[in-house]
Structure 1
Amino acid sequence: MAPKVSVESRQSVAIVGTGMAGLITAYILRNDSRGRFDVEVFEKQNHLSLDSASLTVSNKSGTKQRVDLPMRAFASGFYDNLKRMYDYFGVEYGSQRFVYPFSTISESSCEKKRNIRTHYIHSSHMHKFPPLKPEGSSWFTWLIEALYLGICYLWIVACSTFIKPIEANSSRPSETFRQYAARIRLPQYFLKHYYLPIMSAVTTCPHNALLNFPAIDIVDYQAKTFRKPHYTVMGGVHKVQDKLSKDLKVHFSSAATKIENVGTRVQLTWKNDGTGAIESKLFDHVIMAVTPDVVRAIFPPLRSVLGIIPTETVPAYVHRDFDRLPECSKVVDGEIESKPGLPPSERIHLCSNSSSTEFTHEHLSSVIITTSPILPIDPTKIEHSVFFTRTLRTPISRKVTNEIFESPVSYSDAVDSKQWRNGDGNVWLVGSWCWDGMVLLEGCIASALRIADKLDVEVPWAS
């Protein structure tokens, strides 16, 4: 039995933000085996944010289903920490099969559905073989396209295994994916019509931003997820939120406005949206589980340096505008069948123009989720909309991020330090962007585990 810790020796912790990173960090510290931390969480909304964008809808039979926004699919290999945490909590998840129709939107006009041309229909892990033939394609054209894609895909898989991206040194930053694709001579047609669209769906980023990512991010993701199954949480991510937030002390409608060191402690100031009052409190530790733009606004030491990390607002809509779906949906409807014991395949349409990709998920609940739309959506058929902030990556922002998350110096040294490090003055950062990798949920877990390590807290699922 762990020894009791006196009230005087307990440490107070404030966590700003209730997304995945904030809730995981709160759970780890609250369940410290030595009972050393009193945790309070501050959320600007009137509800927890991890599941705040999701909604419950009724399907054609009247059964209610939870629709997660953004989509919370994850793959083995890359999301190992996330998967271990789900297993620890007994969160049910299932292997999900997807069908990806790849389509091009005509540059001449984006007003009508007829300007969408589907040129290939891919089934995850080739569960539908031979691949479905898009309506209007000849057998010869379809066969040539399939052979071309197979060769290009094998080429980039081989390159991601044997040709590593060029890392940064004292004279140059790390290689971008644009530079890497040119170096390995990745065919432009494959890059534009297939690889960038699928990676844009994963990262919710426009093509140009994705090309400016550090190549190591994309190559690492490619290598780790190769031939790995994809999963979705059964019943929605709110089940994860419920597990992490049980008995958690949360200040809702409390938007943090400033974080600053006062002596050896940290003062958090927030605005109570219910009363309009500005309130402050001293803590031993303050942990920011928010995006870089929010950190810049509330934490002066990082106001300048985090300006180098770009962010972008991404819109997502839940709607029933079935008329805007590509014609290939009819082909898919007629060909896809559910195998016994397996859920039916879900369709994700990847419709691209020269600069971006909109991805439209035909959810099993009979609604449609469109993210980063290019084509218009009938406003009378929109049931829900949300805008979320996506943190982008560049070689320079990667360098800045890695410098921030080096081993923190002591508080006494941090006062005169030119570069703030994570943990200086007992102020910490967690989030999907707070690690050296793709800005995805795995970063939330990794950054929370880093704080657990620095504060010498055992993580139950890590052991």
Structure 2
Amino acid sequence: MSDKSSTISAESTDSSEGDLASARVVKVAVIGTGLAGLASAYYLSTASNPRVQYNVHLFDENSSIGFDSSSVTATDGNGIERRIDVPMRSFAGGYYKRIISLYKSLGLQFHDAKFTYSFSELAEESGDARTYFLHGGRAGSFRQGGKPSLQSRLKWTSDFVAVVFWYIYFSLIAALSTPKGSVSCENEVSHARYEAPRKKLFGNGYGTLGTDDESSIEDCNREIESLQEFARRWHIPAWFIDRFVVTLFSAMSTCDADTIRNSPAADIIDYKRKTFGQAHYLLSNNSRSAVAALTAPLAKDNIHLGVAVKAMLSEGTTWTIRTLDEDYHHFTHVILATAPSRVCELHRPLVPVFRHVEANTVKVLVHTDDRVLNFLKSEDIRDLNLLKTSDGTEATHVLFPGIYQTTSPASLNGDGGEDYGGRISKSKVISESVFERVVRTNGLVDAVAKMRRKQGQHNVWVTGSWMWDGLVLLEGCVASAEAVCDGIRRKCGDDQVALPKRVI
């Protein structure tokens, strides 16, 4: 076996570790190097202490770290070389508290993106698109949120008044109301973890949120109100929900419109409530800076890239990770930071848990073809240009002069064409990436609840953007990673030692 470090005993001592010479070594495999996998590895690696040392190994079949593997470097229209995150890694204040805390603790710099928006709609009959709203975001310029060029002033005035009225109403409802089934299992258990007696809560097992007690999550079987049902109950007009709420969340979650309409209203309302008036941020030095900081505590020999994991084999109390080329032995714990479909391939006992979880594929193009925004007048182009279709939302981000990132490209005028709907020439495509995106449905809500019962069984753990009570976004990666690492530390008898300080 070429990797000497992979043969370390699951629980041993290493006299070369100085202050950690007497620490018990717990070997952990993390399969997947997206943000969930990186955060899990970072939290455990930096949690090593005089009692327990965590020897963490990362595995990924890609030749580069997953969180940054699709990002590209390109030259903009001014001849400046730019590093471009694919997909875009923005995060909003209020909702992304864990990510912001993590990035601050790592010393990473981020800035207010001050996005502006254009909203357009594809007419199914004619195949043409028209712009119906411009939004200045936090840019502070009325001009950037002004009248669309082809809209009459009378029409724009009436539409603007209606949108403002229903936006204020929707914001008040989001702030004051509680969607049915909105009590988060995560919040319930997390709160109980600190308030309830330890013996009653922890028992003999350890779930993601500190419990295997099924009674603690029985409310997950509650009736879950969809966004569509919530809007009807509060008499919010369908045009407002479809044109603004569904369009925005379809772009943000990269899923179809019907999925957003039928998604738990609690997810949408929670996001709206927490992000009201908050800024949207971007890392100042792109995702590479996060990757470098999160992998810094790991030994270089423990990062296994271009290694396709084929199976997990039980060796009594430990696990062997089998790859195409060799086996890696003696892992006490395995963290699966991958898509649900991949989790099921690697650990068959979890197939019944995830059988009703849905996922779709999302295409993201980085390109230099300005035809992609031909449906807009030049004066209507904004930072983020959203095109509402019957299927979902195409989003084109003007990254830098002459460089665009288009997610879920749509066809206009009935032209499917070879060049991405006749609007993006293949010769101008810098990169094309396809992602599997888990869809937040009642099936996923049920799967997350079931997985909480099974977390840590046979020392196998699951984490990811979808493995929490909320929208399938980056915040879920960090939330689930924190919870899994807490569970592993408790199972190792290491829970009395504080986790690395989180900066809020």
TM bracket, shorter-chain basis: 0.7 to 0.9
Give the secondary structure class of the aligned counterpart of 1:167.
coil
2:93 maps to: 76
**Which residues of 2 match residues 227-266 of structure 1 at below 5 A?**
227-246=277-296, 247-248=299-300, 249-266=302-319
Which residue pairs with 1:96 in the alignment?
113
1:20-419 correspondence runs (5 A): 20-34=35-49, 35-108=52-125, 110=127, 115-125=128-138, 127-129=140-142, 131-167=145-181, 173-246=223-296, 247-248=299-300, 249-271=302-324, 277=325, 279=327, 281-332=329-380, 347-375=383-411, 376=421, 377-406=424-453
Q: Is 1:10 matched with 2:25? A: yes
Alpha carbons of structure 1 residues 188 and 369: separation in structure 2 relative to 1, 3 Å: same
Shift of residue 121, structure 1, vs aligned partner = 0.6
Structure 1 pair 156–302 and aligned structure 2 pair: CA distance change class (3 A): same
In structure 1, stretches of 5+ residues that fail to align are 272-276, 334-345, 407-420
Which amino acid letter does the alignment assign opposite residue 445 of structure 2? Answer: R
Is the CA contact (8 Å cut-off) linking 2:74 and 2:430 kept in structure 1? Answer: no
Partner secondary structure for residue 98 of structure 1: coil
Correspondence for 1:418? none
Separation in 1 of the partners of 2:275 and 2:313?
41
- What does residue 197 of structure 2 align with? none
Q: Using the TM superposition, give the Cα deviation of residue 3 of structure 1 relative to its aligned residue in structure 2, in angstroms.
A: 4.8
Letter aligned with residue 217 of structure 1: D
Letter in 2 for 1:236: N
Residues of 2 paired with 1:307 and 1:357: CA distance? 27
User: Counterpart amino acid of 1:267?
Assistant: T
Aligned residues: 427
TM-score (norm 1): 0.87
Separation (CA, whole Å) in 2 of partners of 1:243 and 1:172: 41
Shift of 1:363: 0.7
Residues 34-56 of structure 1 show CA distances to partners (whole Å, capped at 9, x for unaligned) of 15111111111111111011111
Residue 356 of structure 1 and its aligned partner are, at CA, apart by 1.1
Amino acid of the structure 2 residue aligned with 1:189: W
Counting aligned pairs with the same residue, the percent is: 30
CA separation of 1:206 and 1:22: change in aligned 2, threshold 3 A: same
For residue 353 of structure 1, report the CA deviation from its aligned partner: 1.7
Aligned CA distance change for structure 1 residues 387 and 4 (closer, same or farther; 3 Å): same
Q: CA deviation at 1:260?
A: 4.5
Contact 2:359 2:439 in 1 (8 A): yes
* Aligned 8 A contact 1:405 1:435 in 2: no
CA contact (8 A) 1:28 1:452 kept: yes
CA gap 1:460/1:393 in 2 versus in 1, 3 angstroms: same
Quickly say closer, same or farther: Cα 1:292–1:120, change in 2 above 3 A. same
SS at match of 1:50: helix
Contact 2:118–2:135 (Cα < 8 Å) also in 1: yes
Q: Deviations over 1:308-358 (max 9, x none)?
A: 11111111111122123045452146xxxxxxxxxxxx6111101223110
Q: Which whole-Å CA distance do the structure 2 matches of 1:223 and 1:164 have between them?
A: 11
Tell me which amino acid in the other structure corresponds to 2:166.
C
SS at match of 2:383: strand
1:85–1:461 contact (8 Å) kept in structure 2 = no
Q: Aligned partners of 1:428, 1:298: CA distance in 2, in Å? A: 12
| RMSD over equivalenced CA pairs, Å | 2.1
Determine the C-alpha separation between the residues in 2 that align with 1:365 and 1:46.
Answer: 30
Q: Is the 8 A contact 1:214 1:394 kept in 2?
A: yes
Residues 171 and 19 (structure 1), Cα distance of their counterparts in 2 relative to 1, 3 Å cut: closer
Preserved contact between residue 29 and residue 452 of structure 1 (Cα < 8 Å): yes
